[in-house]
A and B are shown apart, each in its own frame.
Chain A
Amino acid sequence: MNGVHDMGGMDGFGKVEPEPNEPMFHTRWEGRVLAMVRAMGAAGAFNIDTSRFYREALPPHVYLASSYYKKWLLGLEDMLIAKGFVGKAEVAQGHAMEPAKQLKRGKFTVDDVERVMVRGKFGRDAQAPAKFKAGDRVRAKNIHPTTHTRLPRYVRGHVGVVERDHGVHVFPDSAAVEAGENPQWLYTVVFDGAELWGPDADPTVNVSIDAFEPYLEKA
Chain B
Amino acid sequence: MSEHDHDHHDHSELSELELRVRALETVLSEKGYVEPAALDAIVQAYETKIGPHNGARVVAKAWTDPEFKRALLENASKAVGALGHVSRVGDHLVAVENTPGRHNMVVCTLCSCYPWEMLGLPPVWYKAAPYRSRAVKDPRGVLKDFGVSLPNETEIRVWDSTAETRFLVLPMRPKGTEGWSEEQLAELVTRDSMIGTGFPKTPGAPS
Contacts and interface: CB of A to CB of B under 8 A. Distances in A.
Interface of A: 5-11, 13-19, 22, 24-29, 31-36, 38-40, 43, 45, 52, 55-56, 64, 68, 70, 73, 76-77, 80, 85-86, 90-96, 100, 103, 107-110, 112-113, 116-123, 150-152, 154, 164, 166, 169-170, 172, 186, 188, 190, 196-197, 201-202, 204-212
Interface stretch (B60-68, B110-118, B168-176, B181-189): B110-118
B82 interface: no
Interface in B91-114: 91-92, 94, 107, 109-112
A100 to B, nearest CB: 4
Contacts of B159: 188, 208
Most chain B CB within 10 A, of A10, A17, A43, A210, is at A210
A24 B140 CA distance: 27
Contact of B129 (A7, A73, A169, A202): A7
Nearest to B142: A16
B194 to A, nearest CB: 14
Contact of B90 (A73, A90, A120): A120
Contacts, number: 267
Contact of B34 (A14, A40, A94, A172): A40
Contact of A8 (B20, B38, B160): B160
B83 interface: no
A40 B32 CA distance: 11
Contact of A40 (B33, B117, B127, B154): B33
Given A85-B33, A152-B109, A208-B157, A32 B130 contact: no
Interface in B126-161: 127-140, 142, 145-146, 152-161
28 contacts: A6-B109, A8-B107, A8-B136, A9-B133, A16-B125, A16-B128, A16-B134, A22-B124, A26-B124, A31-B43, A32-B39, A34-B42, A35-B39, A68-B127, A95-B27, A96-B26, A96-B31, A108-B35, A110-B38, A113-B42, A123-B91, A152-B160, A204-B153, A205-B155, A205-B158, A206-B157, A206-B158, A209-B160
A56 B111 CA distance: 9
B21 A29 contact: yes
A168 to B, nearest CB: 11
A11 B175 CA distance: 37
Interface in B47-71: 47, 49-50
Interface residues of B, number: 83
B65 to A, nearest CB: 24
A7 to B, nearest CB: 4
A193 B138 CA distance: 9
Given A5-B110, A36-B39, A94 B132 contact: no
Given A8-B132, A208-B158, A186 B125 contact: no
B20 A100 contact: no
Given A169-B163, A210-B163, 14 more contacts: A16-B134, A16-B142, A16-B146, A24-B46, A25-B47, A36-B24, A39-B28, A39-B34, A40-B34, A85-B31, A112-B38, A188-B159, A202-B140, A207-B157
A64 B38 contact: no
B78 interface: no
Nearest to A33: B21
B162 interface: yes
Most chain A CB within 10 A, of B134, B164, B165, is at B164
